[in-house]
Amino acid sequence: MIGSVCVFCGSNAGNDPRFAAAAREFGALLAQEGIALVYGGGHVGLMGVVADAVLANGGKAIGVIPRALWDREVGHRNLTEIHIVETMHERKAKMASLADAFVALPGGLGTLEEIFEVWTWAQLGIHAKPVAFLDIEGFYSLLLEFLDRAVDAGFVRPQFRAIAIVDTDPAALLRSLGSYEPPRVERWIKASET
């Protein structure tokens, strides 16, 4: 049962209005399904769009934001809950502890760093929560092609590449999160490779 989803996404809205429209749709869907949003606590960019959509539809939006960003007034002031932490590391750890699943919407370096960290944690067996990409307008298609190349080149094992759920449809993505079965994590480095 998925009770909360941590969404990683841009602090900018991007150049294509379809990104914001999809973020709004996803936030509304979370609220309608009774799934709490956990996110970086900002009111700007896609972060603000998804949080506003959750709140506008009667949902629960939980923000986690470092004090430095809160003090710069980029924090959302109308959330259900706000956790102000000291560092980015604390932020990620807190978001991970509050979430049952992780979803990346379009975003930049921070979004990629966050989704790859929780994906790596799943690979290492640190958690068994689903990790997903809402691939709006093919935003992540080239990245996913690169990861398939990393599998072919022997740097990523197929079972760890398969951890990531990818969908273009928000409702289908949520259904996949709910039915996720984590891979059996064995030693990810063989003794012969050390």
What is the model's pLDDT at position 176?
A: 96
What is the model's pLDDT at position 52?
A: 98
Q: Is 122 contained in some domain? A: yes
Q: Backbone phi, then psi, for 4, in 5-degree steps?
A: -150, 145
Distance, in Å, from the CA atom of 100 to the CA atom of 174, rounded to the nearest integer, reads: 12
Q: Which residues does the chain have with pLDDT short of 50?
A: 194
What is the model's pLDDT at position 194?
A: 47
Task: List pLDDT tens digits, range 8-42.
Answer: 999 999 999 999 999 999 999 999 999 999 999 99
What is the model's pLDDT at position 103?
A: 98
Q: Is 91 contained in some domain? A: yes
Q: Is 153 contained in some domain? A: yes
The CATH number for 118's domain is: 3.40.50.450
Q: Is 184 contained in some domain? A: no
Q: Is 189 contained in some domain? A: no
User: Per the structure, how many domains does the chain have?
Assistant: 1
What is the model's pLDDT at position 73?
A: 78
What is the model's pLDDT at position 9?
A: 97
What is the model's pLDDT at position 182?
A: 87
Write out the residue range of the structural domain in which residue 148 sits: 5-178
The answer to whether residues 74 and 43 touch, using CB atoms and an 8 Å cutoff, is yes
The answer to whether residues 160 and 188 touch, using CB atoms and an 8 Å cutoff, is yes
The answer to whether residues 40 and 47 touch, using CB atoms and an 8 Å cutoff, is yes
Q: Is 130 contained in some domain? A: yes
What is the model's pLDDT at position 186?
A: 67
| Secondary structure class of 159 (helix, strand, coil) | helix
Q: Is 188 contained in some domain? A: no
Q: Is 190 contained in some domain? A: no
